[in-house]
Structures are given as structure tokens and as C-alpha cells.
Amino acid sequence: MKTTGGSEGRDLRDRLRELKVDAPDEGFSASLHRRLVSAGAPDTPGIWRRLWPSLRTEPRLLWPAFGIAAGLAVFLVLGQLHDLSRSHGGAVVAQFPATKVAVVRVNLTAEVAVESAHIRISLPEGLYFWADGQELPQRSFEWSQPLHAGDNDIPIAVRGQTPGRYRLTVSTRIGEQRIDEDVVLEVVEG
Amino acid sequence: MRVASGDDIDLLIEKAQDGDVRAFETLLAEHLPRVRRFARGFAASDSDADDLAQEALLKVYKSLRLFRYQSAFSTWLYAVVRNVFLDATKSRAGRERSREESLQPGHTRDLAGGAPADERLDREEERERLWRALRQVPSEFRTALVLFDIEGRTYDEVAAIENVPVGTVKSRLSRGRSHLRRLLGEAEEGERSVPPAEPGTPAVLPSSHLPRRGS
């Protein structure tokens, strides 16, 4: 068999198409059924998981539409860290208009990969988490996740109804080590 | 198991999200053969491929409440399945699964000696040889080859499943085909250099250099 160029490409694709053969069931469906039944109902996503997919899949809608993003960086220096609290001293990190949704990107920067970090993000009265086109009643999220060495970007969508300054708090705990970080967001008329 | 169509799908998804296994199975009906085939790209034997396919489908089921109607259900399903397969290649169990079995001496003799076989067997051997070669293609190229060249999905569909631009899909296909062509070429070269085995002498062939019958 000697073919070259385009005909060789077509030959390969023809051969690959020949692989599209349905295998006989031979008990596959029955076995899958047993495993599905014993697995129980689908998992209920935590509140963080409810937010995360919508933010991941709609960034092009969120970012240009509102044009506002506040950056908050939390730096984790493992091995040197003890209980630590930091505040941005009341300085406004970002402004966004009332009735608009803003994406706040929390960037957790770790020196080394971390198997499990417990993260809690809290909002004051007047600011709301936003998902599925509506405000959520929860005032805080907390969840555990691994962190990669380097940047770990966590976008969250928030909205404020009334102009004013609001302090958002991010707490990150790894084992006995903990960082509390505050950032001030300003909601303006708009 | 019936195949869901049109407006049925949303209702079935809703029921499946509430834990209705039958609804989930109806949603899956048309995808089962494709997911099993997809798994062949990541597991050396039929039974391991089926086990891997079931693992992936269980993951789809358990994650079902994360489906947000932001893509076609089938796109989401294949994205989850693909991730399970890619994760599996990194695990120890996955590496065991993808380890190619050595040929049985009788089988090898038959191939090397060119004993007559019927056409169906010939085709099965050719398919098995292609799957073996495909499993040696880097996984990011392999998934594109399976979805596009074998399953006949469009560039856009593969791009959505892999969450990459269409240009990346085209590049992966091109590089994957080159890789595969090279592997198959080496196998055919191996065939030409292997002398027919003497009766009773087991010929040992590296699994990636299986000869191609009838060429």
C-alpha cells in the first residue's frame, strides 16, 4: 500500500471511519443500570458549585456587559504563615454601579500546590451574590478545594442595590494556617 | 431503552436530575455505543473499555445537577466523559487499563504466517490494529481524532466539547493524523521485516508493530 499526500489522508480517514461499529450490548446496559441505582441520586452541588459553572461558561456575557472587575489577591506563603489578617485599610478596590453585576476575581496565589484549602467569602448586608440571573440569599460561601502552585483565579459575581462602601472578606485556611483578607467595593449610582 | 428526542430531553434531564435512573438511561440511549467506542481509545481490552465507559457515565449522572442548559446536553455529556478519560490516563489504574496485552502465540503465528482467515476476522484485526495505534497517539490529539474522524462530529462540536477554539481542533487533528500515520507506517514496515514463523515457533511481535493483514 503506497499512497501519498491527500489520498493518504483520505485513506487514513476512511480507515478510521471503519471503527464506527457499535459493540453488542452483552450486558453493558444491565451492568450500568445496577451501578447507577447503587450510586444514588445525583449530587447536590454546593453553593459554590452553583456559581462556578455559570461564571465559567458566561464570561463573555458578564465581562463586556458590565465592564467592571475588582481584583483581590490573597497570597499564601506556606511555611511562613501564621494566623494573619490583612485589610486594605478602607481603600476602595473597585467601583461599580448599583443594579449592575460585577465580577470580583479573587486570586489565591500559592507557592506550592495545596491538597485542600478551605475558603470562605463573606459579604456585608447590602451586597449580594448573584447567580442564574438573581440575587442569592446566602451571605457567605465556604468550600474546600485544591490549589495549584501559582495563581488560582476564583471569579464571583456580586451586586449591590444601594450606593455605598462594602467590605468583602475572604478567609483561607490551610491546616492550622489562616489568612483573612478584606477588600472594599464601592457601589455608585448608575 | 428508547431514544429521547426534541422536547422530551428537557423533561428527561429534569427527571434524571431528581434521581430517576430510567430517565437518565433514556437520555443516554443513543450515546451508549459512542461512549463505549470513545473509551476504546483509552483502554486496551473491551472489558476495560466498558468499565471505563461506565465510570464516566456514572460521573455524568452524579454531576447531572451541574448541567445548566448552557450547551446541548450531548456536548456537556461528552465533555464530562472526555475529562474522566483524560483523568484516567493519569491514574495508575488508567495506565494499567491502557497497557497493551501481548499477543497469544497462536494468534501471532496466524498473523505472521498469513494463514487464511475470513473477511470478518480480517476486518476485526484491522480495527484492533488501528485502536492500538490510536491509543499511542497523545491524548489531546486522540480525543479529537475519535470525535471527528470516527464519530463524525463537526469542528464546532469538537471545539465545544474540548473547550478550545476551532483552530486548535484543526491543528490537533492534523498533528494526530500525522502521528497515527507514522505509527501505522512503522507497523507496516515491521510487517515487511518479520519473516513467517516456523510451525511451532511462537513469533513475538511488539504490540505497536502488528503486521497488517492483506497488504
pLDDT band for position A187 (cuts 50, 70, 90): confident
Least confident of A106-120, B15-29, B148-162: A106-120
Q: Which residues of A touch B53 (CB under 8 A)?
A: 28
Name which residue leads in pLDDT, A124 or B122: A124
Please answer yes or no on whether B177 and A57 come within 8 Å at the CB atom: no
d(CA B169, CA B71): 18
Verify that B154 and B71 share a domain, yes or no: no
Mean pLDDT of B143-168: 94
State the Cα–Cα distance between residues B1 and B4, nearest whole angstrom.
9
Pairing of β A140-147 and β A114-122: antiparallel
What total number of domains does chain A contain?
Answer: 1
Name the residue among B36, B48, B123, B143 with its Cα closest to residue A22.
B36
Q: Average pLDDT in the B189-195 region?
A: 59
pLDDT above 70 (res B4)? no
The alpha-carbon gap from A21 to the nearest alpha carbon of chain B, in Å, equals 8
Chain B residues in contact with A34 (beta carbon < 8 A): none
More confident residue, A112 or A12: A12
Q: What's the CA gap between B78 and B35, in Å, rounded?
A: 8
* CATH assignment of the domain containing B64: 1.10.1740.10
Query: Any chain A CB within 8 A of the CB of B152?
Result: yes
Domain boundary among B32, B64, B99: B99
Last residue of a domain, one of B67, B99, B131: B99
Q: Search chain B and give the residue with CA nearest A1.
A: B215
In a domain, A100, yes or no: yes
Question: Average pLDDT, stretch B183-207?
Answer: 54
- C-alpha to C-alpha distance for B57 and B131, rounded to whole angstroms: 21
**Structural domain contains residue A94:** yes
Report, as an integer, the average pLDDT of A163-189: 82
Q: Does B62 touch chain A (CB under 8 A)?
A: yes
CA atoms within 13 A on the CB side of B186: 13
Residue B176 or residue A98, greater confidence:
B176
Give the lowest-confidence range in B19-28, B73-82, B118-127. Answer: B118-127
* Same domain? B81 vs B155: no
pLDDT given for residue B155 in this prediction: 96
Residue A51 amino acid letter: L
Check residue B211 and give its pLDDT.
37
A93 against B64, higher pLDDT: B64
In the DSSP assignment, the letter for residue A26 is: T
- Do residues B206 and B153 both lie within one domain? yes
The CATH number assigned to the domain holding A90 equals 2.60.40.10
Q: Is the pLDDT score of B92 beyond 90?
A: no
Please give the residue range of the domain that contains residue B183. Answer: 102-215
Under the banding of pLDDT at 50, 70 and 90, the label for residue B174 is: very high
Looking at residue B34, what is its pLDDT? 96
CA pseudo-torsion sign A157, A65, A63, B79: positive
How far, in Å, CA of B55 to CA of B134, rounded? 21
Three-state helix/strand/coil letters over chain B: CCCCCCCHHHHHHHHHHCCCHHHHHHHHCCCHHHHHHHHHCCCCCHHHHHHHHHHHHHHHHHCHHHCCCCCCHHHHHHHHHHHHHHHHHHCHHHHHHHCCCCCCHHHHHHHHHCCCCCHHHHHHHHHHHHHHHHHCCCHHHHHHHHHHHHCCCCHHHHHHHHCCCHHHHHHHHHHHHHHHHHHHHHHHHHHHHCCCCCCCCCCCCCHHHCCCCCC
Q: Does B149 touch chain A (CB under 8 A)?
A: yes
Q: Read off φ and ψ for residue A156, nearest 5 degrees.
A: -130, 145
Give the residue from B12, B13, B32 with the most A CB atoms within 10 Å of its CB, the best one to mutate.
Answer: B32
C-alpha triplet B118, B124, B129: angle, nearest 5°: 125
pLDDT (0 to 100) of residue B6? 59
Contact B65 A44 (CB under 8 A): yes
How close B23 gets to chain A, by Cα (Å)?
11
Whether residue B34 is found in the same domain as residue B83: yes
A116: containing domain? 69-188
State how far the Cα of B64 lies from the Cα of B73, in Å rounded to an integer.
Answer: 10
Average pLDDT over residues A57-86: 36
| Best residue in A32, A35, A50, A58 for a mutation probing chain B (most B CBs within 10 Å) | A32
What would the grid cell of residue A106 be? Answer: 479573587
Interchain CB distance below 8 Å, A42 and B37: no
Please indicate, yes or no, whether residues B108 and B88 belong to a single structural domain of this protein. no
Distance in angstroms (rounded) separating the CA atoms of residues B205 and A7: 29
pTM of the model: 0.59
For residue B56, the chain A residues in CB contact (below 8 A) are: none
Could you report the per-residue pLDDT of A20-37, keeping only the tens digit for each? 999 999 999 999 999 999
pLDDT band, very low/low/confident/very high, at B153 (cuts 50, 70, 90): very high
ipTM (interface predicted TM): 0.76
- Between A46 and B71, where is the model more confident? B71
Lowest mean pLDDT among A100-114, A124-138, B93-107, B139-153: B93-107
Instruction: Please indicate, yes or no, if residue A140 is contained in any of the structural domains.
Output: yes
Give the pLDDT band (50/70/90) at residue A171.
Answer: confident
Question: Across residues A53-62, what is the average pLDDT?
Answer: 37
Q: Which residues of A touch B63 (CB under 8 A)?
A: 42-43
Q: How far off is chain A from B159, nearest CA to CA, in Å?
A: 14
Where residue B117 falls among pLDDT bands split at 50, 70, 90? low
In the predicted model, is pLDDT for residue B66 greater than 60? yes
- Test the B interface: residue of A7, A31, A36 with most B CBs within 10 Å: A36
Q: What is the pLDDT of residue B21?
A: 96
In degrees, rounded to 5, the angle at the alpha carbon of residue B15 between the alpha carbons of residues B152 and B50 is 45
Residue A150 has what pLDDT? Answer: 67
Would you say residue B142 has pLDDT above 70?
A: yes
Of B68, B84, B99, the last residue of a domain is B99
Give me the long-range contacts of B95-98 (CB less than 8 A, separation at least 24): B97/B42, B97/B43, B97/B44, B97/B45, B97/B48, B97/B51, B97/B52, B98/B42, B98/B43, B98/B44, B98/B135
Residue A125 lies in a domain: yes
Compute the mean pLDDT over every residue in chain A, rounded to the nearest whole number.
Answer: 71
Q: Does A5 contact B at CB distance below 8 Å?
A: no
Out of A17, A32, A58, the one facing B54 most closely (by C-beta) is A32
Asked if pLDDT for residue A97 goes beyond 50, the answer is yes
**pLDDT at B176 (0 to 100):** 96
Any domain includes A42: no
Please give the interface size between A and B, counted as residue pairs whose CB atoms are below 8 Å apart: 97
Contacts of B145 in chain A (CB under 8 A): 16
Could you tell me which residue, A90 or B139, shows the higher pLDDT? B139
Name A174's bridge partners: A177
Do B183 and B202 have their domain in common?
A: yes
Residues B20 and B124 in one domain: no
Q: In chain A, what residues touch B37 (CB-CB under 8 Å)?
A: 19-23
* Percent above pLDDT 90 for chain A: 14
With a cut of 90, say whether residue B2 has pLDDT above it.
Answer: no
Residues of B in contact with A58 (CB under 8 A): 70
Least confident of B56-65, B120-129, B166-175: B120-129
